[in-house]
Structures are given as structure tokens and as C-alpha cells.
């Protein structure tokens, strides 16, 4: 008998009919001879409704109470799903995050899981129950309700799967799995059957937002294999798991696109130790996330740093940098540009294959697409292109590595 | 510095504006130098919405999960109220029933409070917080969420007031207090400034449903004085407290009406020990509440029992009695009648005043109102009249005891 953790997102439990659909699925899974734990999110729309309500009583709702409020969303779903399973003749019991033993730190609205004491969940499983656990929420050691922030329900599923030593964790969502590229851009993109944690992380950080990076990181850290699949059909999904040697035969696993990027270039920085750090610190202090950072070899004693960021952060970044630059030298210049995009090719196979970057750049050049910046990691090659070329660039790279063909 | 527990019902917190109104009230109470605990219900309409949702996933929702579902209603209100208080510059923190230490038995949907461990509430009060507690809910000793059933938030307020040894408990509702009669029936009815627990109980059991009886019983048992008052104005309300000698000067405190009553009469019961009990047991087994029970002296070896009940229970009662009657004797006859009402005059003063019943019956007779049944307790005289006379009967008794005049 296997122990399976299934997670259903807000769309999958978005109305009573869909909740009944999920109830049928989890019952089938149990009747096939498995112990089943189900993690659910708030019904889609519920969280937004609660946030709206909060704003009507307070312009800036205190985060501790926001967590108490938002936690009702998942609590509603667990009760309804447990009722639906029971109505179909099954045996189910609901657990809030607190009842499931999910203990977090006290950083409200984006708490981190400290530890899980799954005694109650295990006891209920042993009693033959389908255990329905509220995702996204936990409790501090002093008993305050917390929420885990965006993607928190995925994290609950993976962390609980680790804690109860589940055999498999299934993340049900509204897509069939992880694709070689966004099927809306690349019609002949294929679903990836197996992908490594590292590749999944690089895909996620490059715009393929099937899951939040920290859930994948958590799965990687605790070695929890998980499958991303569609709650509306029975198609097999994408298994995300530890890297193994057979995976290396595929050079590029997928291509992802990050739109709406912007670039800031800082020129004429006196090339002395600490100056670059001082510039970047200003960005960090302003709580802005930057992505690709490129510093070329200095010329004539002056350094030049470029980095990319989301265009919505551009104004804030310029303001923060202006102050920092002045404190270094009056000559320092800051230029900004938006209207660019990042296209990434990801695959652990590139470690053992040479010429991958050349092949990618060549294909883009042949297609008449200009490359503005390049950044590489061990398993990723990322290029910045003009946004007018972004879709063509994804299709070109996808085809260059023959990702439309089964490996 | 006094410690005050305030309870606000669903109408009083029915929308964001009203929640802000409550926030202002509790802040004023705190700024007047008091420690304040606030108990709130679910926003009006929320509970009904949740019940509807439950019925869409299950025809007969399992009660344990219904409690988990309904508890989200009060949890939403506590978060919103704590936010609203904070937004106004106050210091507030929310507590679910579990967090407030309200431990109940495991009878879901109508749990009884076992004990309260108010350590956390006291600690938060000591920190200068307005403590906002979810009414209507608790937790079993094994950690399952329970609800206390109808009127449960009043019970939470009174029980918590007892546990923290509050100086006063204020039950805010949508009426100004307890009246000498329903002001919709008796335009010159007056608000009662002080009433004893016992009188309040008799009024409640006679149709004046400002509060559920068990909350009043709990207050009586633990000696918690409480005030019923209106959340929409600043009028003084009705103080419900221990009986004292000054209260006895008022013979009748109020008159109440219970509409939609029905009567069942069982005749020709062989007058042997146990027969009456067998009949009444059938009613109890069917989970029906009966009210006035009258057995006249038997004639010719045959007893005759009448009792009243709500007319919605009449059919069920007839079915249950039919079977029981047959097992006693074929001669037993059951007759049923609806279209009647109960009018009660309540007052602890009648203990020390004679002729009260005669005065009441005389007034009703003069008004041409026929009395069908009579039942009396130490502090109540109740009569059954035809429903066509019910309103006139209330007005007649109210005037006969000069309740329209200040005592």
C-alpha cells in the first residue's frame, strides 16, 4: 500500500461541482489501495474576496490578522471536501494547518515552515481516513495562525509528503504538466515526462511558473519526488525528481520566456574595490529583485555593470541607484531600457555536451534575431532579446534543439 | 480599572461599516479606562451562505465538518474587527475559540463548554490589547473544532466573562433591551432596567427570545451579571442579575407571547401507574419538546392528559403517540388542535403578592377572552388562548398590571 499526497489548487476546487470531482478522484485513489492525504487551496476567488473585505475595514490591514482572515479560505475548502467524500460513502476528516502540525516561524503573510509533527495526520490515516489538509497555512509555536505566501499550498503538500514519508506527491493544477515551451507560443511543444529538480528550478526562474521555486527547492532538499498533473483529466503529468544518468541524453529539456524585462546599465564607475558592491547594495536595500548581472572587464579604469529586472521595478531601481551613484562619483551614468525579454534554454545534458551555446546563438542569428546580453549557468543559457523578437526566439530555439520531437 | 466583556451579534457586524462602528465602540470602552474583551458572531448572512454551500456538496453534511465550515464565519469577523481597531490606532489581537481556550465536549453542532483556560486571553489583556474572540465555537480536548449551536456567541461571552472574572458582560444586539412586552404588539411597553436571571429565563421560555435560555442559565449558575443593549445607539439596556429584595416590589416584570402553539389531548387512559409515563416517553423518544403538561384528576378510572407544543411538531407527535397509545389500550383517544397561543405573566414579586392569578384571569374575562388551559410556576402564570385573541390578551394583561407606567 502506497501513501500518496495529492494537492488541488483553487481552480480545481473552484465550485461545489469541482469539489465533488476532486472527492471522486481522491476516493478512486484510496480505493486503488492507497493511503491518501489531500491538500487543498481556497476556492478560486475566495482569497480575493477576503482581501477586498479587509481593505474595506483598513487601508493597510495588519498582516497578523490578514493571516487569520485568509486562513478561513482553505478551512472552508477542507470542510466541504471532507463532506463531499463522506457523502460519496468514503471516510474523510479535515485538518487545518495547525491541526496537521505545520509549525512555522512568525513572519506573517510569508511564513517559513519550521517543522511538521504529523502524528495526528498519521493517526487519521491509520484509521482509514482520507485526510484533507488546508494548504497555505500553519501555526507559530506560540499558537498564532500564519500563511505561507504565494504557492504556499504546493509547499504544504511537499513538506507534508516529506514528513509522512509519502511514496508520491501529486500536484494537481489546470495544466497537463511542464512543457518544452509554453504551448500558446509554440504549438508543437511537448509535455516533458520527467524533469530534474534543478531543471524545474531553472525553468521556474525563467518564467515557466507552473510552481514557485521554493516548493521545488524544498522537494529537492528533502528528496520528495512529485508529479505535476491536470485535475480535469487523467493524462499522466510531469514527474519532477532527482537527476539520474538517463536524463543526460536530452541536451535541452525546455525553453522558457520571461517577458516584460528591463535593463539598467551603469557606466563610468571608478574601478576600485567595493564600488560595484555599493551599487548593488542600493538595489538590495530597496528590496528589488534583479536577475542577470553582467560586468565587463573595465576599460580606462572605469567599470560598466548591466543588470536586468522586471520593468515594473524600473522606476524604483533608478531612484535607488541615483543616490548611490552620486556618493561614488559625479561621472557615474545610469541608463535604463525596457522593451526586452529573456529567453532561456534549460537542460542538465548541456553539462556533458559541448557547443550548445554556439548552436543556440547560431539559430537565433540565422533567424535575424539580435542578442543583447548573454548569461549562462551550468544547465542554462539565457539571452536577452528585443521584445518584438521574443516569440520568434522561443520558437527558433525550440526547433533548433528539435524539442518538438520525442527524445 | 474594570474588565468588560462585550458581545456583538451578526447584525451588529453585518458589513464593513458596522464592523468599524463596533471598533469605535470597543475603543471608546477601552479609552474610558477598561480592559476589553469582545466576542463576535459571523457577519449576518455568512452562516446561511456556508450552509447553502455545504448542501451543494452533500445532502446531509457530516456535523463534524459542518462545525469546521461554520467556524470560518466568526474567524472572518475577528480578523476584520482586529484590523479595524488597529486601523483606528488601537491595539487589538484576534482569538479563535480554540486560541481563547474554550474547551467543549465533542457533540458537534451543539457542543457544551467543558472548561475555559483563559491564560492567553489574560496575557493579551495584560499587554494592553483589545482581545477579539470568536463566539459560537470551541475545541474538543482532542483538538477538533466544535460549535455551540444557536445563541452560542452569547454563551461564549458569558462563559468567558465568568472565566476571566469580568466586572460586566454586555450583550449588544439589535434591540434596546428586554421590554415589558413586545413593543410591536404593545406600543406603550417599557424597557425593563433590571431583571433577575429567573425572570429572564421565564420570559425566554415564553417567547421573548432576546437570548437563549442556556446562556441565561449559565450566567445564573456562575453569577455573571450581564446587560442587554443596542449596538446602534447609546441607550442604557437591561441589566440581568441576581435577584435582590428591591426587585420584589414589582409584581409582574413582563408579559410574553408564544405563538403557533398546538395542543394534544389524550383521553381514556386506563388510570394505572406508568401509563402516563409511557405516553410521554414516546414524545421524548421522538425528540419533540413539549411545554405545558396538564393531567386532571381521573374520572371513572380513566385519566386525561393534555400538553402543548409548537404546531410544526404536531404531526410528528401524533404519529409517535398513535403507536404508544395502541400498546396501552384500544380505547385511548388522541385529539389534536392548533391555532392556539400561550400568554405568560412573569415576575418574582408574585411570590410575595397574593391574588395575582385572579387579577389576570379577571382582566382576560372582562376583555371577553376565553382561557383554555392554565399553568403556573412560582414566578409565572401562563394561559392558553385562541390565537385570534393572542394580541389582545397580551395588551390586556400588560394594562391590568399597569406595566405601561414606570414602577
The answer to whether B290 and B320 have CB atoms below 8 angstroms apart is no
- Sort out which chain B residues have CB atoms less than 8 A from A61's CB and list them: 83, 87
Question: pLDDT of A4-52, one tens digit each?
Answer: 999 999 999 999 999 999 999 999 999 999 999 999 999 999 999 999 9
Q: Give the nearest partner residue to A68 out of B23, B50, B94, using CB atoms.
A: B94
Q: Is A209 on the interface with B (CB under 8 A)?
A: no
Interface test with B, best of A38, A43, A55, A69 (most B CBs within 10 A): A69
Tell me how far apart the 2 most distant CA atoms of chain A are, in Å.
Answer: 78
| DSSP secondary structure code for residue A369 in this structure | P
Give pLDDT tens digits for A77-107.
999 999 999 999 999 999 999 999 999 999 9
Q: Does A102 touch chain B (CB under 8 A)?
A: no
Last residue of a domain, one of B108, B141, B174: B174
Domain at A80, CATH number: 3.40.1160.10
Q: Could you tell me what percent of chain B has a pLDDT over 70?
A: 99
Range of the domain at B166: 3-174
Nearest Cβ partner for B75 among A62, A72, A83: A72
Residue B27 lies in a domain: yes
Query: For residue B215, what pLDDT is reported?
Result: 92
Question: According to the model, what pLDDT value does residue A208 have?
Answer: 65
Q: How far apart are CA A236 and CA A90, in angstroms?
A: 25
Query: Is B367's Cβ below 8 Å from some Cβ in A?
Result: no
Q: What are phi and psi of B41, to 5 degrees?
A: -95, 180
Tell whether B14 and B146 lie within a shared domain. yes
Interchain contact, B65 vs A94, CB within 8 Å: yes
DSSP structure string for A109-137: TS--EEEE-THHHHHHHHTTPEEEEESSE
CB contact under 8 A, B69 and A59: no
Question: What mean pLDDT is predicted for residues A225-241?
Answer: 93
Position B210 in a domain: no
* Same-domain check for residues A11 and A154: yes
- Same domain, yes or no, for B164 and B276? no
If residue A159 lies in a helix (H) or strand (E), which one and from where to where? Answer: helix A152-163
CA atoms of A356 and A353, how far apart (whole Å): 7
pLDDT of residue B311: 92
Nearest to B47 by CA among B15, B23, B69, B17: B69
Does any domain span residue B352? Answer: yes
Q: Which of B373, B404, B371 is nearest to B389 (CA)?
A: B371
Report yes or no: A390 and A259 within 8 Å, Cβ to Cβ: yes
In a domain, A214, yes or no: no
Residues B13 and B159 in one domain: yes
CA–centroid distance for B19 within its chain: 24
* Run of H or E including A225: none
* Cβ contact A95:A134 at 8 Å: yes
What does the angle CA A96 – CA A100 – CA A101 come to, to the nearest 5 degrees?
120
Average pLDDT, chain B: 92
Q: Do A83 and B94 touch (CB under 8 A)?
A: no
Average pLDDT, chain A: 92
How far is residue B79's CA from residue A142's CA, in Å, rounded to a whole number?
Answer: 18
Number of folded domains that form chain B: 2
Are residue A12 and residue A157 in the same domain, yes or no?
A: yes
Give the rounded percent of residues in chain B with a pLDDT score beyond 90. 73
Q: Answer yes or no: do B169 and B261 share one domain.
A: no
* Judgement on whether residues B166 and B260 belong to the same structural domain of the protein: no
CATH, residue B379? 3.30.2130.10
Amino acid at each position: 500500500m502506497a501513501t500518496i499526497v495529492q494537492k488541488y489548487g483553487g481552480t480545481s476546487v473552484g465550485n461545489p461541482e469541482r469539489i465533488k470531482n476532486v472527492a471522486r478522484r481522491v476516493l478512486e485513489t484510496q480505493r486503488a489501495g492507497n493511503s491518501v492525504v489531500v491538500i487543498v487551496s481556497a476556492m478560486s476567488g475566495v482569497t480575493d474576496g477576503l482581501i477586498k473585505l479587509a481593505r474595506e475595514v483598513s487601508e493597510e490591514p495588519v498582516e497578523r490578522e490578514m493571516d487569520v482572515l485568509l486562513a478561513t479560505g482553505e478551512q472552508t475548502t477542507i470542510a466541504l471536501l471532507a463532506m463531499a467524500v463522506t457523502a460519496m460513502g468514503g471516510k474523510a476528516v479535515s485538518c487545518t494547518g495547525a491541526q496537521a502540525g505545520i509549525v512555522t516561524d512568525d513572519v506573517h503573510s510569508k511564513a517559513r515552515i519550521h517543522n511538521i509533527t504529523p502524528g495526528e495526520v498519521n493517526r487519521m490515516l491509520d484509521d482509514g481516513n482520507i485526510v484533507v489538509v488546508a494548504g497555505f497555512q500553519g501555526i507559530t509555536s506560540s499558537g498564532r495562525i500564519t500563511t505561507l505566501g504565494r504557492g504556499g499550498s504546493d509547499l504544504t503538500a511537499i513538506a507534508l509528503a516529506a514528513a509522512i514519508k509519502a511514496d508520491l506527491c501529486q500536484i494537481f493544477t489546470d495544466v497537463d504538466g511542464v512543457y518544452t515551451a509554453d504551448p500558446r507560443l509554440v504549438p508543437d511543444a511537448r509535455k516533458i515526462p520527467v524533469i530534474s529538480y534543478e531543471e524545474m528550478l531553472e525553468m521556474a526562474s525563467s518564467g515557466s511558473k507552473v510552481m514557485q521555486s521554493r516548493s521545488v527547492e524544498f522537494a529537492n532538499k528533502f528528496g520528495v519526488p512529485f508529479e505535476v498533473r491536470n485535475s480535469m483529466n487523467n493524462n499522466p503529468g510531469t514527474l519532477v525528481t532527482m537527476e539520474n544518468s538517463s536524463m543526460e541524453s536530452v541536451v535541452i529539456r525546455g525553453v522558457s520566456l520571461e517577458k516584460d524585462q528591463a535593463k539598467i546599465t551603469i557606466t563610468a564607475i571608478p574601478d576600485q574595490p567595493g564600488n560595484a558592491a555599493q551599487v548593488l547594495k542600493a538595489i538590495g536595500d530597496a528590496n528589488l529583485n534583479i536577475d542577470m548581472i553582467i560586468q565587463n572587464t573595465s576599460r580606462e579604469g572605469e567599470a560598466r555593470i548591466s543588470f536586468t529586472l522586471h520593468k515594473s521595478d524600473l522606476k524604483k531601481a533608478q531612484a535607488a541607484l541615483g543616490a548611490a551613484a552620486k556618493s561614488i562619483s559625479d561621472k557615474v551614468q545610469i541608463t535604463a531600457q525596457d522593451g526586452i525579454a529573456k529567453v532561456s534554454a534549460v537542460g542538465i545534458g548541456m553539462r556533458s555536451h559541448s557547443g550548445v551555446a554556439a548552436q543556440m546563438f547560431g539559430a537565433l542569428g540565422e533567424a535575424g534575431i539580435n542578442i543583447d546580453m548573454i548569461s549562462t549557468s551550468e544547465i542554462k543559457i539565457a539571452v536577452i532579446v528585443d521584445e518584438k523578437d521574443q516569440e520568434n526566439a522561443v520558437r527558433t530555439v525550440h526547433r533548433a534543439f528539435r524539442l518538438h520531437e520525442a527524445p
